[in-house]
Amino acid sequence: MEIRRKTLFESDTLQIGLFEASPGANARGEVERQSLNAIALPFSGVFSKHDAPGRHVIGTPSHAVFFAADAPYRIGFPGGIGDRAITLRFGDALAPEWLDPRGNGGALASNALLPAKAMMLRNMLGTRLVRSEADQLEAEALGLDLLDMSLNSVRSGGARLRPQAQATRTRALQRVKEAVALAPAYKWNVTKLAGIANLSPFHLCHVFREAVGTSVYDYVLHERLARTLDAVLDGGCDLTTIALDAGFNSHSHFTARFRHFFGCTPTALRRSARSAQIAELRKIVTARRH
């Protein structure tokens, strides 16, 4: 597994980086620590963060994962498919009051899904930084917007249960998230996912509604849409190919779902991403969903 890290932007308060892990063995890496608090937001692929015996969380393009400063962890890559993510590193000055890294920071990860505008901002900001199209003010302003959205997602990700019940539910959710992340275009159904979670279909649906805030179907759809953003913004593939590769039945089905979720069509987003006007970027990522 080859790992590459690149700093895309750095200020006194915020560092934005690109993390890429090429395909390799399904193994955990060495124990690591971050010198600053960090949020990881995958564009594609999947990773697992292990921060205690028997406890791990899954990072996918639908979720944000928090890394507390100085807290030990290991990273793994289920299925050996690798990972590509934007990272936001920040000090205590930007940490919200509710965040207590020493008390619970190591366990923070979002069961709640990233909102559509956060996903769009993640991909569009990453694309502009990689292409050196964003100036210092733009990068910092949008980076802070993305950090705020991501922390809110992390905070909303977990209701409190009895420890044993919480652990059982968390393991079930992580197994399902990992399976969907490894094959989002697969023709999933509730029975197959319930078997992976070791729950009944009814219980799995209940757990998803309660912990994730959406249905199992909408979760799979969310993952598929999240993974199309890179290809839409890149512009190298036609939209029909993107749609079919992501598991949608047709170009029209993909476009309808994309517009409903992100508030614009793939064509409109691709066109806006080519513009250097920050006003257009802000308008599209802050637009209200209908």
Tens digits of residue pLDDT in 193-246: 989 999 888 888 888 888 888 888 889 999 999 989 989 988 778 999 999 999
Distance of CA 92 to the CA centre of its chain: 23
pLDDT at 5 over 90: yes
- Residue of 250 and 52 predicted with greater confidence: 250
Let me know: does 214 contact 176? Beta carbons within 8 Å.
no
Please tell me whether the overall predicted TM-score, pTM, comes out greater than 0.85 for this model: no
- Residue of 219 and 103 predicted with greater confidence: 219
Contacts of 45 (CB under 8 A, 6+ apart): 21, 77, 81, 82, 83, 84, 85, 181
Residue 93's CB: how many other CB atoms inside 10 A? 8
How much of the chain, in percent, has pLDDT values that exceed 70? 82
Let me know: does 157 contact 111? Beta carbons within 8 Å.
yes
Residue with tokens 């839409």: 232
pLDDT of residue 89: 96
The overall average pLDDT reported for the chain is: 83
Helix (H) or strand (E) holding 15: strand 14-21
**Cα–Cα distance measured from residue 151 to residue 86, given in angstroms and rounded to the nearest whole number:** 14
Give the pLDDT band of residue 161 (cuts 50, 70, 90).
very low
Of 99-113, 191-205, 252-266, 271-285, least confident by mean pLDDT is 99-113
